[in-house]
Amino acid sequence: MAAAPDVPQADVLAIAAHRDDVEQTCGGTLLRMAARGLRTAILDLTRGEAGSRGTAEDRGREAAEAAKLLGVGWRTALDLPDGAVENTLENRIKIARVLREVRPRVVILPYWQARHPDHAITATLGYEACFLSGLAKIETGAAPHRPFKIVYASLYADVRPSFVVDITPFIEQRHAALMAYQSQYANQAAGGGLFVPEEEIRERTFAEARHYGLLAGVKFGEPFVQKEVGLVDDLTLLPVQSI
C-alpha cells in the first residue's frame, strides 16, 4: 500500500521524545542530508504539555518553524504523555504506523542512556517499533517496512562516537532552528533555575559541536553511535587523519 498523500516518504527519519530534541542533537545532520538531496522527516513522540515553559500549542508552532529552518519535508507529533513515555505495544504500533508511511532507510534515535527518562525509553521504544514495523502480520493499514539502518544521536552521552557528521556549513542554521523555540529558550521567570540563560545557549551549543568536530578533524560536528560493526571497502579512502 502506498504512503498516505499527506505523509511524504523520506530517506532519513529522526524520532525524538520532545519537540526541540532533534534541533539540539542532530539538526545539523538533517540539514546536511537535505543539502545532499535526501528527504528528511521528524517524528516527535510528545507535544510538550508537561514542560516548565510554554504550552503544547506554543511548541507546535515553534516546531513547525524549526522544521522549515532544517529543510525538513514532514514533521508530526504523536500523543504520548510528556514526561511519561512508556514502551508499550500500543506505542510501538503508533510509531510503526508512521514508519510504514514514511518508509525511511535511516532512523535516528536518541542514545539509550540519558538523564531524562523519556529520552532513554524512546531509544528502546523506537528500536522495537522499527522491528515490529517489519512484521507482516502486524496490521496498520500500510505495507510492512523495516529501516535498513538505526543510529543513535549521542551528543549528550559520555561515550565515544562511532562516527561524526560534519555540520560546519550548517552550524548557524542549526542554531536558528533551536532558537525558534522562544517559549523555551528566551529569558523568562518561569523555569529560570532550570534553563541556561539565552545568552549562553549559543556558546554552549557551539562548544559542544566544536568538540566533536575536532575529534573528526572538522570545525563543527554531531556525534552518533551505531551498534553494528562498520564495513570498509578501501582502506585508502578512510577519512580523518591518524597523525
Instruction: Kindly state whether residue 107 falls inside one of the protein's structural domains.
Output: yes
* Owning domain of residue 119: 12-225
Instruction: Kindly state whether residue 39 falls inside one of the protein's structural domains.
Output: yes
pLDDT in tens, 27-78: 999 999 999 999 999 999 999 887 767 788 999 999 999 999 999 999 999 9
Q: Which three cell numbers stand for residue 103?
A: 518508509
Strand order in the sheet with 12-16: 74-77, 40-44, 12-16, 106-110, 149-153, 221-225, 163-166
Number of domains the chain contains = 1
Q: What is the CATH number of the domain that holds 136?
A: 3.40.50.10320
Instruction: Kindly state whether residue 138 falls inside one of the protein's structural domains.
Output: yes
Instruction: Kindly state whether residue 236 falls inside one of the protein's structural domains.
Output: no
Residue type, 107: V
pLDDT in tens, 104-148: 999 999 999 999 999 999 999 999 999 999 999 999 999 999 999
Q: Which residues pair with 234 in a beta bridge?
A: none
Rounded to an integer, what distance in angstroms lies between the CA atom of residue 33 and that of residue 11? 9
